[in-house]
Amino acid sequence: MKSKMCEMFGIDVPIFAFSHCRDVVVEVSKAGGMGVLGMARMSPERVEEELNWIDAHIDGKPYGIDVLMPSNLADSSDMKFDPDKLLPKEHVDFVRNMLDEAGVPPLPEAEAAEIKREIVKGMNFAPKESLAMIETAMKHPIKLIVNALGVPPDFMMEQARANGVAVGALTGAREHALKHAEAGVDILIVSGTEAGGHCGEVSTMVLVPEVLETIKPYPHMFALAAGGIATGRQMAACMAMGAAGVWTGSVWLTTAEAETTPTVKEKMLAASSSDTVRARSRTGKHSRQLRSPWTDAWEREDAPDPLAMPLQSLISEPALGKVERLSEGGHRGAQDLATYWVGQGVGLMNASQSVRNVVYDFKEDFINAHERLSKAVGT
């Protein structure tokens, strides 16, 4: 395909695949797109392990990484607190009662404590650790680094420029686009409310042209459309609006290589686009996920208001961790409660297939859409 993204990264088709699963990243890149590994805030050791594996399996194809770095990193390396003392009894009891009703026992205390420690560790945005993470990643042949938490911090921009790595940033509103443009970001991932995970309120169809109009004074910038995109015809529509390609996430969750559990995959394959909710019940911020009795319970009148991020995760993750484990053992109550982040495009994800087949389907569907448009204008 003729696309600035194809030229910039040496790929065949401008499909960028965000995934926490390294297998998906590798397979997308080998199929002609570009895999992007979601790393959040991994330790430098974990970064080294994951990227070494990708380097060994990706046959020299390009790939990128996605991280969570606030613009201004306060030194929180000495931050110490007992998370349990910050969790209201009302919230703890609410979750415990919900699990009891489903017949789900709590995680062993030691395991629950370990999950909470990891969450607290992820709150530590100490500059030294963050820089070490980025420096480790830059030792690998990554072609793109994307920040999913606001404007990329200066040290990220500096490291990327020094290593010839393009910089991207998640963009959910016009004002975000302006801040990214002023910071010198290369690629905007323009994510509409249809997207899985944390998302805003504006639809992709409206947000993409709004952002493109906003960045006209910045000709060096490109936009990837995101949010509910699961087919080639949607990709064609976004590129017709002016996007340079698409950023996809949910569509890979039902593939054979994905990290999602069989229970969640089955739920996604059976779901319609109306079976997702944008709720605060998992992280404390609005995120789109599969609707289940877990999400429904937090919408009841007697439910406590979800806690602010990241405290809500200290409530939800130990409970949902046990739900996930038991659901794979056939526990009916746990299977009912099971949920996962996914966008409204889940209604278009109706068959489990390999990552490569998904990429090929995108290509074929895009070509068919292009032919329909060509006929519409008489060419």
Q: What is the mean pLDDT of the chain?
A: 91
How many helices (H) and strands (E) are present in the chain, helices listed first?
15, 11
Cβ–Cβ under 8 Å, residues 38 and 278: no
Q: For 220-259, what is each residue's pLDDT tens digit? A: 999 999 999 999 999 999 999 999 999 999 999 999 999 9
Res 72 pLDDT > 70: no
Residue closest to 273 by CA, chosen among 244, 239, 250, 306: 250
User: Which tens digits make up the pLDDT trace of 299-355?
Assistant: 999 999 999 887 898 889 989 989 999 999 999 999 999 999 999 999 999 999 999
Q: Quickly state the pLDDT bin for 297 (edges 50, 70, 90).
A: very high
Q: What is the mean pLDDT of residues 355-368?
A: 97
Select the highest-mean-pLDDT range: 29-43, 71-85, 342-356.
342-356
pLDDT on residue 121: 62
Residues 6 or more apart whose CB falls under 8 angstroms from that of 117 comprise: none
Complete domains list, the chain, with CATH: 4-76+125-254 (3.20.20.70), 83-122+258-337 (no CATH)
What is the pLDDT averaged over residues 245-274?
Answer: 96
- 45: amino acid identity, one letter: E
Contact 220, 241 (CB under 8 A): no
pLDDT value at 76 more than 50: no
Q: Rounded to a whole number, what is the distance in angstroms from the first to the last CA of the chain?
A: 19
Instruction: Please classify residue 357 by burial: count the beta carbons closer than 10 Å to its beta carbon, then call 0-12 exposed, 13-18 middle and 19+ buried.
Output: middle
pLDDT (average), residues 133-154: 94
